[in-house]
Amino acid sequence: MATHESVIKRARQNEVRNLRNKSNRTRVKNVIKTVRASIGEQSAEKARAALTTAIPVIQKAANKGAIHRKNASRKISRLSKQVNALST
């Protein structure tokens, strides 16, 4: 470990940010998992409800920088496509 004050502070900040981003990414994975599980049950209403709760969580993670904004957009698009295909 370096002994320069700014490097020590930067390492400390990186640890905190890493934990924060990790919790946001885990939350995104969990909401995606619930949407996919409801799609697997062939329940259109349940899948749509899960999707409406998942979209803000994914967007919030993108806004905070935990995931890339295009990654978030891709996830939302693919989940929406699957839910819409289920309802038709």
Q: pLDDT tens-digit profile of 50-63? A: 999 999 999 999 99
83 touches 47 (CB < 8 A): yes
Domains in the chain, CATH or no CATH each: 5-87 (1.20.58.110)
Give CA–CA dist 84/62, Å, rounded. Answer: 23
Write the pLDDT tens digit of every residue in 42-51. 999 999 999 9
Look at residue 21 in the predicted model and tell me its pLDDT: 95
Gap between the Cα atoms of 36 and 23, Å rounded: 20
* pLDDT cut 90: percent of the chain above it: 92
Torsion of CA 42, 77, 53, 83, to 10 degrees: -20
pLDDT digits (tens, 9 = 90+) for 22-34: 999 999 999 999 9
Contacts by 49-54, CB closer than 8 A, 24 or more apart:
51/79, 51/80, 51/83, 54/79
What is the rounded distance in angstroms from the CA atom of residue 45 to the CA atom of residue 56?
A: 18
